[in-house]
Amino acid sequence: MIRKNLLIWITIFSSVIFIIQLASLQLASDSFNRDFAVQEISVYPERGLIFDRNGELLVTNQPMYELIIIPENTVEFDTIQLSNLIGIEHNDLSKRISSAIKYSTKLPSVIQSQISKEENAFLQEKIWQFDGFYLRKNSVRDYIRPFASNVIGYTGEVDQNDINSNPYYEKGEMIGKQGIESYYEERLRGVKGKRYFQKDRFNRIIGPYNDSKKDISPKKADNLTLTIDIKLQEYAESLLNNKRGGIVAIEPSSGEILTLVSAPTYHSNQFIGQDRTANFQGLLNDTINKPLFDRSLQAQYSPGSPIKILNALIGLQEGVVNESTTFKCNAGHYYARNAFMACHNKIGTISNLRKGIYNSCNTYFAKTYKMIIDKYDSPSQGLDSWSKHIKSFGLGDYLGYDLSIGKKGFIPESNYYNRFYGNNRWSASTTISNSIGQGEILTTPIQMANFTSAIANRGFYYKPHFVKKINNQSNIRLEKNFTSIDKGNFEVVINGMVDVVDRGTARIAKIKNINIAGKTGTVENFILIEGEKKQLTDHSTFIAFAPAEDPKIVISVFVENGYWGSRWAAPIASLIIEKYLTGNVERKWLESRMINGSLLAEYEKPYKFQNFTINE
């Protein structure tokens, strides 16, 4: 009976079709599974504060303002007047407004970000004339003390890489870009919270979603206490005025980095405010001064004479020399046939170990080095033994400090020379430059400070680090890294280092009543100009610790093209030691000579396209 049951069958058939469609919509489909109706808004905890080792506040947050537009609320206005008011190009403003309209006419868009408190005060009085515009407060970093920027770093808006590599971040959020801000990003930022809002079909928020039950409150950020002594840092930075180089000061009994200077440098505050992009480009484009390059952590120099200290220790440990071993120097010596290594000691000088150190005798340490290598059957074995000793001082590898930039430096091993000369077809003489820190060895200033720390501690060092406490809780577990040198071998070498300051090459570094152990260095260096290798004025370097009998501070200073170690590096180190240990500096004449001294003329030499003289 088609007639009778027609409608019944149609009803059943329709219901089945409906249920199939509903199953595909509600049970299977994910193409419609996006919930447009709930808006998630992030709530940010205030970024953590940063203090110096003495509790002085270094970094805090300051309010900044953003100029916001809601396009549908605007009425016709004078765009030229507005562009003048906020100080951007008229075209630029028009572009930003049209892209805001493109994004949404109903939702707020940022027209200008990072407007300072002062500009805001000025703008607030005028902006009411422009319907649809308002100023919104947010928070940015305030670097109160404009020092240690190379350590503290800076923050910036996340870029596409940050977003891709960490799903936590969303467009427009801030992230630590450099230094402590970057390394301790997760501690400093806390964890953002979420608030959920119900939207209507115009994308407008009409109230909290689900009575805010799903909301997640933000997790508070951590405050950091650095190991940096900001006053010492400030002083050290002033000493490197108009010079290039690095200073690293460490407390040897803890590995805490007291001061880490790189000159020239930047200021973290340059990365805040309207001019941040221009400032960053400026810093990036300065390829000669390289202010974004941290010379204390990233610059790999030949260590120069300070390496003699290590060679002395290795010689003692290997038993090839002792305290009273003497070598004769004739203003240098022939280390191989027709191969002469010059020395600044006079002809016929006979030095024992201590005198070799304080007079920085090239001959003494070249001969010591040769004996270290030749003690073994093959140069490979000898060199590897030497290399192992050197590396036990933390050279040739990252130190593992809590900043993400750095360089390994380089300590050669036998395979390096084997590859170059063939298996064992080389000898101690071939690698003789290693003995005086001029050869293949490369070190960074922080590595120099670190090995000095190991000497000051008579045989071990603590990993250098920058953060002392997180939320007043101690950050690092101190762990002794022992060197391969027995404790007993240090004293004679340290005596030699004390003599360096007392009567040796660094007498200028002497401070009344404080025993400084140090070692100067004068490092030959070269530059490639139009493919031609040219020698520049030597780097001036100095390592030291004081007081020698109970070291409180270890320091390494590196001044590029400063010539003798005693000309710049030793006085600077000495002033910092005096400042740190006594609280003030009595040798005002030396202080002003260091602060006012400039090497800019020296740095310009190779770029003047004419012949120049070095080591004046």
Partner 1 sequence: MNRLSIFKYDLVSIILYLSLVSFGLVNIYSSSFNESSINLFDVSSIVGKQVLFFFLSLIAFIFILFTRSRFFDNSAYIFYFFSIILLLGLFIFGVERGGAKSWYALGPISFQPSELAKLGTALFLSKFLSIIQTDLKSNRDILIVFIIILIPLILTTIQPDPGSALIFLAFIFPVIREGLNLNYFYFGLYIISTLLLTLKFNFLVCLAILMIVFSAYLIYFRTKKIKISLLKFLFSFFILICISFSTNYLFENVLEQRHRDRINLVLGKEVDTSGIGYNINQSKIAISNGGLFGTGFLEGTQTKGNFVPRQHTDFIFSTIGEEWGFIGTIITIIFFSFLIIRIITRADKQPNHFRRIYSYCFASLLFSHFFLNIGMSIGLIPSIGIPLPFISYGGSSLLIFSMMFFVYINFDSSRLMED
If the CB atoms of residues 15 and 592 are measured against partner 1, the closer one turns out to be 15
DSSP secondary structure string for all residues of 275-318: THHHHHHHHHH-TTT-TTS-HHHH--B---TTHHHHHHHHHHHH
Residue 144: name the closest of 210, 50, 232, 12 by CA. Answer: 50
If the CB atoms of residues 184 and 209 are measured against partner 1, the closer one turns out to be 209
Instruction: Tell me if 37 contacts partner 1 by CB under 8 A.
Output: yes
Measured CA to CA in angstroms, residue 391 lies from 148, 317, 487 at distances of 29, 14, 17
User: Residue 23 class from Cβ within 10 Å (0-12 exposed, 13-18 middle, 19+ buried)?
Assistant: exposed
Instruction: Tell me if 609 contacts partner 1 by CB under 8 A.
Output: no
**What's the CA dihedral at 183, 188, 191, 194 to 10 degrees?**
-120
Measured CA to CA in angstroms, residue 226 lies from 50, 184, 407, 510 at distances of 7, 11, 22, 30
83 membership: H or E segment, kind and range: helix 79-86
Please list every residue from 53 through 112 that binds partner 1, using CB under 8 A: none
If the CB atoms of residues 32 and 128 are measured against partner 1, the closer one turns out to be 32
Shortest gap between Cβ of 31 and partner 1 (angstroms)?
8
If the CB atoms of residues 36 and 609 are measured against partner 1, the closer one turns out to be 36
Shortest gap between Cβ of 29 and partner 1 (angstroms)?
5
Instruction: Tell me if 288 contacts partner 1 by CB under 8 A.
Output: no
If the CB atoms of residues 28 and 75 are measured against partner 1, the closer one turns out to be 28
- Distance, in Å, from the CA atom of 124 to the CA atom of 85, rounded to the nearest integer, reads 11
Query: Of the ranges 177-185, 199-207, 293-301, 517-525, which one interacts with partner 1 (CB under 8 A)?
Result: 199-207
Instruction: Tell me if 212 contacts partner 1 by CB under 8 A.
Output: no
Instruction: Tell me if 22 contacts partner 1 by CB under 8 A.
Output: yes
Amino acid letter for position 46? E
Shortest gap between Cβ of 102 and partner 1 (angstroms)?
15
- Distance, in Å, from the CA atom of 341 to the CA atom of 429, rounded to the nearest integer, reads 11
- Of 121, 206, 342, 347, the residue at the interface with partner 1 (CB under 8 A) is 206
- Distance, in Å, from the CA atom of 490 to the CA atom of 467, rounded to the nearest integer, reads 30
If the CB atoms of residues 24 and 582 are measured against partner 1, the closer one turns out to be 24
Query: Of the ranges 26-34, 129-137, 243-251, 390-398, which one interacts with partner 1 (CB under 8 A)?
Result: 26-34
Shortest gap between Cβ of 72 and partner 1 (angstroms)?
17
If the CB atoms of residues 19 and 278 are measured against partner 1, the closer one turns out to be 19
If the CB atoms of residues 159 and 200 are measured against partner 1, the closer one turns out to be 200
Query: Of the ranges 196-204, 266-274, 346-354, 606-614, which one interacts with partner 1 (CB under 8 A)?
Result: 196-204
Instruction: Tell me if 342 contacts partner 1 by CB under 8 A.
Output: no
Instruction: Tell me if 336 contacts partner 1 by CB under 8 A.
Output: no
If the CB atoms of residues 198 and 242 are measured against partner 1, the closer one turns out to be 198
Residue 225: both structure tokens together: 């206490």
User: CB–CB of 311/453 below 8 Å?
Assistant: no
Instruction: Tell me if 12 contacts partner 1 by CB under 8 A.
Output: yes
Total residues in contact with partner 1, by rule CB under 8 A: 36
Instruction: Tell me if 328 contacts partner 1 by CB under 8 A.
Output: no
331 membership: H or E segment, kind and range: strand 327-336
Q: What is the 3-state secondary structure (H, E, C) of 524-585?
A: EEEEEECCEEEEEEEEEEEEEEECCCCCCEEEEEEECCCCCCCCCHHHHHHHHHHHHHHCCC
Residue 286: both structure tokens together: 């300065």
Instruction: Tell me if 7 contacts partner 1 by CB under 8 A.
Output: yes
If the CB atoms of residues 6 and 284 are measured against partner 1, the closer one turns out to be 6
Instruction: Tell me if 33 contacts partner 1 by CB under 8 A.
Output: yes
Instruction: Tell me if 41 contacts partner 1 by CB under 8 A.
Output: no
Residue 226: both structure tokens together: 């650095």
Shortest gap between Cβ of 201 and partner 1 (angstroms)?
5
Instruction: Tell me if 43 contacts partner 1 by CB under 8 A.
Output: no
Shortest gap between Cβ of 25 and partner 1 (angstroms)?
4
- Of 32, 128, 526, 609, the residue at the interface with partner 1 (CB under 8 A) is 32
Residue 312: both structure tokens together: 């002395």
Long-range contacts of 531-539 (CB under 8 A, 24+ apart): 534/606, 535/614, 536/561, 536/605, 536/606, 536/614, 537/561, 537/562, 537/563, 537/602, 537/605, 537/614, 537/615, 537/616, 538/562, 538/563, 538/564, 538/614, 538/615, 539/245, 539/301, 539/302, 539/304
Instruction: Tell me if 121 contacts partner 1 by CB under 8 A.
Output: no
Angle between helices 90-103 and 79-86 (to 10 degrees): 100
Query: Of the ranges 10-18, 407-415, 508-516, 531-539, which one interacts with partner 1 (CB under 8 A)?
Result: 10-18
Residue 305: name the closest of 505, 161, 468, 166 by CA. Answer: 505
Shortest gap between Cβ of 26 and partner 1 (angstroms)?
4
Sign of CA dihedral 583, 450, 568, 504: positive
Shortest gap between Cβ of 24 and partner 1 (angstroms)?
9
Shortest gap between Cβ of 15 and partner 1 (angstroms)?
4
Query: Of the ranges 81-89, 174-182, 204-212, 277-285, which one interacts with partner 1 (CB under 8 A)?
Result: 204-212
Residues near partner 1, by CB under 8 A: 2-4, 6-8, 10-12, 14-15, 17-19, 21-23, 25-27, 29, 32-38, 198-201, 206-207, 209-210
